[in-house]
Amino acid sequence: MKNNFVQIIENYDPLVRVSEKDFILEPVYFNNGIAPNPDIFIRQNVLYMLLSAKKNLPTGMNFKIWDGYRILKVQKKLYDDLWELRQSQNPEWSSEKLKIEVEKFVGLPSFDPFSPSQHNTGGAVDLTIVRDDHTELKMGTDFDEFHERSYANYFDSLGDRDSKAFSSNRTLLKSILCDAGFAPYEWEWWHFAFGNQHWAKYYGKDVAIYGSMEL
């Protein structure tokens, strides 16, 4: 998603490690050999907001977190891999079309401190809801399923029973996190942000408070 260069006034909220005592953690990119560290980091206030949002989940449920802060090396690997996949699947697409479709799911690994990648700020988090037995609520797709079914509102207008259940579960996740102050993302039901340029643009704020934690 393009940030349109919303001004960033960094508030220096530190990165903190998310604890498995608070949430269910599944560091997907480390497990798949892409990220070098199994720990998941987010900004401190994002952690506080998630802990607050957790209190509003139905009894016996918790958040499962797949990813938070992301270094640019990992961002570039994800971007390049999806570019190659989409190019092989759609050889007729122009570079412009490829860029649009790839960046719905993986943002450009930006080395520009004035327009940082969302996850590189520590303000973006990928997550879902799980029950006490760690089974995930059915959302209609897996995490990082690069298909239009992953668009946040994909199942809203479909009338079959499964689609209604998927839509209801996504609405639950979105409503709890948005009530806590997060911004949703139209292309990925699992992605939410606070403090970065996407969050600022979504809520019509003049400035973002989180910039890159790497640059």
Do the Cβ atoms of 198 and 1 come closer than 8 Å? yes
pLDDT at 159: 86
Residue 161 pairs in a beta bridge with none
Q: Tell me the pLDDT band of 4, cut-offs 50, 70 and 90.
A: low
- What's the predicted TM-score (pTM) here? 0.95
Is the predicted pLDDT of residue 152 greater than 60, yes or no?
yes
| 110 CB-near residues (< 8 Å, 6+ apart) | 72, 116, 117, 120, 212
pLDDT, tens digit (0-9, with 9 covering 90-100), for 83-128: 999 999 999 999 999 999 999 999 999 999 999 999 999 999 999 9
pLDDT, tens digit (0-9, with 9 covering 90-100), for 160-181: 999 999 999 999 999 999 999 9
| 164 CB-near residues (< 8 Å, 6+ apart) | 155, 158
pLDDT at 6: 94
Which residue type, as a one-letter code, is found at position 46?
Answer: V
Taking the domain 7-11+26-128+173-208, which CATH number applies?
3.30.1380.10
Is the predicted pLDDT of residue 1 greater than 60, yes or no?
no
Could you write out the DSSP letters of every residue in 5-42?
Answer: T-EE----PPEEEPPTTTSEE--HHHHTT-SS----EE
Run of H or E including 201: helix 197-202
Helices (H), 7-151: 28-31, 44-54, 72-89, 95-105
pLDDT, tens digit (0-9, with 9 covering 90-100), for 32-65: 999 999 999 999 999 999 999 999 999 999 999 9
Q: What is the Cα–Cα distance from 125 to 198, expressed in whole angstroms?
A: 12
Could you write out the DSSP letters of every residue in 146-168?
Answer: -SGGGSTTTTTT--SHHHHHHHH
The helix-helix angle for 72-89 and 95-105 (nearest 10°) equals 130
Q: What is the dihedral angle through the alpha carbons of 112, 10, 75, 154, rounded to the nearest 10 degrees? A: -110
Return the percentage of the chain with pLDDT > 70, whole number.
98
Q: What is the Cα–Cα distance from 214 to 153, expressed in whole angstroms?
A: 33
